[in-house]
């Protein structure tokens, strides 16, 4: 019962424009924008990046709190990086804190790096929030397919991801059951030193692994029985098809990168 | 060592959209030394109920008392409770992890902080009780057959020498022969002084052995009584999707055709005797040889 | 009687090393098995664990190949490599563990797995998936993740996954062993309906006698051999033989047998409780 509420990944179901765009375009978009974020050297460039990101957020129609939740893990990292930048960048002193001197240039660096990190995380979050794990896997596979002749196992990787996603809730439930069974035999997972707690997981992990191997074996047999013979010649129930809006989206993304590059090159941003 | 439930309710994931009331106002007392059957359709709350008996779950409201101890009380040592109230889950062989059978069965006693000699004594005793040969103790639990592995898992709980033993569908996944063997084994436990609670989907499993049967439905105690009392209320059982043993069905069908049979027929043996007697009474049938 | 669709001829099979060079004697999981699956029939294979019934099942779709003897599916010899995929197109299989057959994180994607393997056009795949889901009554659940389904529902999805390949024969290897009673009824009902309505041959492997009793024919296996073949009535009325094979005897048969031993003249063909009641009433009303 415990895991009926588990949602896989961060996916937030919806029907916004961002949701409907082809996952390949979105993945490419994340890559392009990651580059674009590091191009600006003056405030017009940064402003453009921030505005563009905010527009994407609005288009996704994902509740703000979910986006902010994605920032939580990097908060500590942000604070540490900010401190380093503030006190270790040489330049005109602003104020002192004990032996450390904050500089004006340092303050600027804080602004720059913080902005870049935040935008990066928000853009990556938008990808996983608006793309279901299945579509994401499909997108990745299609993009890696051209690389198959040079040995990239696109289909196998995608299949691995699909099966992993399928079994995560199942394995989580099984882990829960095993934990309870061991607790019924007097096991405790929450007391003692760190070493003790790690060791207390052995009676849970071993059966879980053994079961996982058996599952894999049975699953492989079932797949063979349904005609699985590798990735060659396989089709998909829902093939990814480029729609006009995907072309437009790609053009907009490329256009934005070009804009920011031009701003930088002309010294304006 | 009675187990007492006072107005126990349990809600999973309260306050979320997935809220689910698994137990509603359960009040019952399971006295020492009895053999209880716990029956009910899937989703009736059986699994939730038994996990309250050893403190794996806490009531959302109400109290659970084991041997007079309130399980929700902070001062109650749950490890001690779990030694006294042994719980064997479904497919218990899925929890085996030891390098050898001995190591696995020893897990429970070792968690009780017993000394090595006592641990060894209990492991060997438990293996014997479940009918496994002593030399199995050095084998890996992963190389055993399904039936053997299940007995090892059972031994792992018996080695803690509980006063109450709860078994959740110990026959799940076994073929008829395997089922009979496990049920016979469980049938020997009351003689060892244990209170036994057998959870099952099948009335057949408990009809012959249980002193009392508790029927759960939608989280509530639906009916409690001796097997015979319950089978007399057959329509209520069938209304919630539970069947009756074949002997009961046979006797009912004959009574519907006007046969005068005694009211307490639960096993096929009893049915055969009753039919023979009835045929003689009617002056038909049995040619004495 | 319908034509044979699958023919099993004198098949032997052993797990492990062929020549027993690891010192262990070669135990035959199948020891000279002859069997036939006819078009459109509901055939039950009954036996205890270790009887060879699952091993036999896996020979029907070339998951296992005979050590000696041969298996012909629609005339195709399973030992010939080029017949592998054609055989699996004709014989679908459903396994015991409901979870360990479902590959995808969404029901309809899993049902599509088989047709996708065949390289069918997407439109055709969608048609087959819709058909298969409707045939098992799981259309309403098509977008749900498998971990939220009951055991019976998961098995129905597995059946749909096999149906999507439009096999002429469906083999189910102990499909209800891990289900609760309502799940067991659910799955048996669905398969019986498919057998009746689609005319699909069904091979139902089980250790539950009540399930074998609804089949057209029953094969009883023990120790790697076919021990009994016949209609359920023919097979289950042989109480002594069933006991020899450590099998369950239907309650009506048990009672009838015990009464007969005491001189009560009951017919030997009694199989169900209703038939027993009828016979007893007739007896007591005579004379």
Closest by Cβ to C99, choosing from A162, A170, A221: A170
More confident residue, B201 or A24: A24
Closest C-chain CA to A163: C103
Strongest mean pLDDT among A36-40, A184-188, C124-128: C124-128
- Position C224 scores a pLDDT of 95
User: What is the full per-residue pLDDT of chain B (289 aa) written as tens digits?
Assistant: 789 999 999 999 888 887 889 999 999 999 988 999 999 988 899 999 999 999 999 999 999 999 888 988 888 888 899 999 999 999 999 999 999 999 999 999 999 999 999 999 999 999 999 999 989 999 999 989 989 999 999 999 999 999 999 999 999 999 888 888 999 999 999 988 899 999 998 888 888 889 999 999 999 999 999 998 998 888 898 888 888 889 999 999 999 999 999 988 888 899 999 999 998 887 754 454 4
Binned at pLDDT 50, 70 and 90, residue A52 comes out as: very high
- Position C18 scores a pLDDT of 56
Contacts of A207 in chain B (CB under 8 A): 94-97
- Position A148 scores a pLDDT of 86
Range from A48-62, A94-108, B200-214, C175-189 carrying the lowest mean pLDDT = A94-108
DSSP state of C139: G
Query: What domains appear along chain B, each with residue ranges and CATH number?
Result: 3-235 (3.40.50.300), 245-284 (no CATH)
Residue C286 in this model has a pLDDT that exceeds 60: yes
CA atoms of A98 and A121, how far apart (whole Å): 33
Binned at pLDDT 50, 70 and 90, residue C22 comes out as: low
- Position C23 scores a pLDDT of 57
From C76's Cα to the closest Cα of chain B, the distance in A is 34
Mean pLDDT value across residues C80-108: 96
Separation of first and last alpha carbons in chain C: 42
Residue spans of the domains in chain A: they are: 10-131+241-269
Separation of first and last alpha carbons in chain B: 52
Closest C-chain CA to B273: C259
Residue A85 in this model has a pLDDT that exceeds 90: no
Phi, psi (rounded to 5 degrees) for A95 = -160, 165
Pairing label, strands B212-217, B35-39: parallel
Residue A2 in this model has a pLDDT that exceeds 50: no
- Position B284 scores a pLDDT of 57
CA atoms of C59 and C66, how far apart (whole Å): 7
Range from A62-76, A178-192, B76-90, C27-41 carrying the lowest mean pLDDT = A62-76
What b/e readout covers A77-102, taking b as 16+ CB neighbours within 10 angstroms? ebeebbeebbbebeeeeeeeeeeebb
CB contact under 8 A, C274 and B253: yes
What is chain A's mean pLDDT, rounded?
88
- Position B18 scores a pLDDT of 79
Q: Helices (H) and strands (E) in chain A — how many of each?
A: 11, 2
Nearest 5 degrees, angle CA B183-CA B187-CA B193?
145
Binned at pLDDT 50, 70 and 90, residue C173 comes out as: very high
CA atoms of A193 and A199, how far apart (whole Å): 10
Mean pLDDT value across residues C154-167: 98
| Of the candidates A36, A195, A185, the residue with the CA atom closest to the CA atom of residue A123 | A36
Question: Rounded to whole angstroms, what are the CA distances from C57 to A99, A214, B5, B104, C94?
Answer: 79, 19, 49, 35, 10
- Position A6 scores a pLDDT of 41
Binned at pLDDT 50, 70 and 90, residue A72 comes out as: confident
- Position B68 scores a pLDDT of 86
Q: Please, are residues A37 and A119 in contact by the beta-carbon 8 Å criterion?
A: yes
CA atoms of B109 and B113, how far apart (whole Å): 7
Which tens digits make up the pLDDT trace of A137-162?
Answer: 999 999 998 998 898 899 999 999 99
Contacts of B176 in chain C (CB under 8 A): 48, 207-209, 247-248
Contacts of A13 in chain C (CB under 8 A): none
CATH architecture, domain defined by C4-232: 3-Layer(aba) Sandwich (3.40)
Question: Rounded to whole angstroms, what are the CA distances from A128 to A115, B28, C237?
Answer: 20, 50, 63
CB contact under 8 A, A1 and B22: yes
Phi, psi (rounded to 5 degrees) for C250 = -55, 145
- Position C25 scores a pLDDT of 61
C269 is written with which tokens?
């063909």
CA atoms of C70 and B56, how far apart (whole Å): 54
Percent of chain C clearing pLDDT 70 (strictly above): 96
Residue C45 in this model has a pLDDT that exceeds 70: yes
Question: Rounded to whole angstroms, what are the CA distances from A266 to A40, A49, B159, B160?
Answer: 11, 17, 80, 79
CA atoms of A60 and A126, how far apart (whole Å): 8
From B226's Cα to the closest Cα of chain A, the distance in A is 29
Binned at pLDDT 50, 70 and 90, residue C11 comes out as: very high
Binned at pLDDT 50, 70 and 90, residue A4 comes out as: very low
Mean pLDDT value across residues C116-136: 97
Q: A176, A226, A228, A234: which to substitute to probe chain C, counting the most C Cβ within 10 Å? A: A226
Closest by Cβ to C259, choosing from B177, B272, B288: B272
| Of the candidates A194, A186, A136, A121, the residue with the CA atom closest to the CA atom of residue A9 | A136
**SS3 for C91?**
strand
| Of the candidates B48, B42, B72, the residue with the CA atom closest to the CA atom of residue B166 | B48
Residue spans of the domains in chain C: they are: 4-232
pTM here is 0.89
Model ipTM value = 0.91
Binned at pLDDT 50, 70 and 90, residue A5 comes out as: very low
Please name the chains neighbouring A, where neighbouring means 3+ C-beta pairs under 8 angstroms.
B, C
DSSP string, B49-86: HHHHHTTSS--SEEEEEETTEETTSTTS-HHHHHHHEE
Phi, psi (rounded to 5 degrees) for B110 = -65, -35
Evaluated on CA atoms A64, A70, A72, A74, the torsion sign reads negative
What is chain C's mean pLDDT, rounded?
93
Contacts of A238 in chain C (CB under 8 A): 122
């Amino acid at each position: 019962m415990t895991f009926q509420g588990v949602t896989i990944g961060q996916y937030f179901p919806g029907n916004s424009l961002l949701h409907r765009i082809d996952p390949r375009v979105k993945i490419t978009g994340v890559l392009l924008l990651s580059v674009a974020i590091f191009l600006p050297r003056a405030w017009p460039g940064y402003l453009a990046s921030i505005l563009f990101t905010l527009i994407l957020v609005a288009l996704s129609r994902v509740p703000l709190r979910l986006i902010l939740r994605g920032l939580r893990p990097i908060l500590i990292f942000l604070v540490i990086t900010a401190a380093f930048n503030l006190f270790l960048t040489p330049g005109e002193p602003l104020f002192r804190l004990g032996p450390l001197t904050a500089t004006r240039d340092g303050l600027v660096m804080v602004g720059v790096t913080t902005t870049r990190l935040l935008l990066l995380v928000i853009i990556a979050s938008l990808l996983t929030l608006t793309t279901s794990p299945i579509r994401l896997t499909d997108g990745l596979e299609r993009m890696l397919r051209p690389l198959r002749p040079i040995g990239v196992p696109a289909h196998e990787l995608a299949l691995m991801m699909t099966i992993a996603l399928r079994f995560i809730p199942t394995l989580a439930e099984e882990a829960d059951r095993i934990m309870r069974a061991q607790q019924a035999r007097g096991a405790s997972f929450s007391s003692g030193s760190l070493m003790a707690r790690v060791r207390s997981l052995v009676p849970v992990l071993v059966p879980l692994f053994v079961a996982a191997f058996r599952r894999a074996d049975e699953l492989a047999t079932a797949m063979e029985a349904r005609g699985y013979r590798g990735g060659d010649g396989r089709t998909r129930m829902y093939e990814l098809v480029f729609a006009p809006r995907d072309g437009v989206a790609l053009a907009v993304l490329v256009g934005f990168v070009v804009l920011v590059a031009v701003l930088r090159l002309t010294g304006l941003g | 060592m009675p187990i007492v439930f006072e107005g126990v309710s349990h809600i999973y994931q309260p306050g979320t959209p997935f809220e689910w009331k698994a137990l509603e106002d359960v009040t019952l007392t399971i006295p020492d030394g009895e053999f209880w059957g716990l029956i009910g359709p899937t989703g009736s709350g059986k699994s939730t109920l038994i996990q309250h008996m050893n403190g794996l779950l806490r009531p959302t409201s109400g109290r659970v008392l084991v041997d007079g101890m309130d399980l929700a009380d902070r001062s109650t040592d749950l490890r001690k409770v779990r030694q006294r109230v042994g719980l064997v889950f479904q497919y218990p062989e899925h929890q085996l992890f030891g390098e050898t059978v001995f190591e696995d069965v020893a897990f429970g006693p070792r968690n009780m902080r017993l000394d090595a000699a006592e641990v060894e004594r209990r492991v060997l005793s438990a293996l014997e009780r479940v009918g496994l040969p002593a030399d199995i103790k050095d084998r890996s639990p992963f190389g055993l057959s399904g039936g053997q592995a299940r007995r090892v898992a059972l031994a792992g709980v018996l080695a803690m020498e509980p006063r109450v033993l709860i078994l959740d569908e110990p026959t799940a996944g076994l073929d008829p022969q395997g089922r009979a063997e496990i049920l016979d084994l469980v049938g020997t436990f009351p003689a060892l002084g244990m209170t036994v609670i057998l959870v099952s989907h099948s009335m057949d499993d408990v009809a012959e052995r249980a002193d009392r049967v508790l029927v759960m439905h939608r989280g509530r105690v639906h009916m409690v009584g001796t097997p015979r009392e319950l089978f007399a209320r057959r329509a209520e059982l069938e209304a919630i999707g539970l069947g009756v043993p074949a002997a009961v069905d046979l006797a009912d069908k004959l009574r519907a055709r006007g046969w005068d049979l005694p009211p307490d027929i639960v096993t096929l043996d009893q049915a055969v005797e009753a039919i023979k007697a009835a045929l003689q009474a009617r002056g038909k049938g049995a040619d004495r040889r | 009687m319908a034509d044979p669709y699958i023919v099993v001829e004198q098949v032997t099979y052993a797990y492990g090393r062929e020549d027993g060079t690891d010192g262990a004697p070669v135990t035959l999981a199948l020891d000279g098995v002859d069997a036939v699956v006819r078009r459109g029939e509901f055939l039950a294979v009954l036996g205890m664990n270790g009887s060879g019934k699952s091993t036999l099942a896996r020979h029907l779709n070339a998951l296992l190949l005979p050590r000696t003897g041969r298996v012909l599916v629609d005339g195709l010899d399973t030992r010939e490599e080029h017949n592998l995929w054609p055989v699996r197109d004709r014989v679908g299989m459903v396994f015991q563990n409901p979870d360990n057959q479902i590959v995808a994180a969404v029901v309809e994607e899993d049902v599509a797995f088989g047709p996708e393997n065949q390289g069918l056009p997407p439109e055709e795949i969608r048609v087959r998936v819709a058909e298969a889901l409707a045939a098992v009554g799981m259309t309403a659940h098509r977008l749900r993740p498998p971990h939220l389904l009951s055991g019976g529902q998961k098995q129905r999805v597995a059946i749909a996954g096999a149906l999507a390949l439009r096999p002429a024969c469906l083999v189910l290897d102990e499909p209800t062993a891990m289900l609760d009673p309502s799940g067991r009824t659910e799955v048996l009902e669905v398969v019986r309906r498919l057998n009746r309505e689609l005319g699909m041959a069904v091979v139902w492997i089980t250790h539950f006698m009540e399930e074998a009793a609804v089949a057209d024919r029953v094969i009883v296996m023990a120790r790697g051999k076919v021990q009994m073949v016949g209609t359920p009535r023919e097979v289950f009325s042989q109480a002594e033989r069933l006991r020899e094979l450590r099998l369950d005897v239907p309650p009506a048969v048990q009672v009838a047998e015990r009464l007969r031993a005491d001189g009560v003249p009951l017919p030997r063909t009694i199989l169900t409780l209703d038939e027993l009641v009828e016979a007893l009433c007739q007896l007591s009303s005579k004379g």
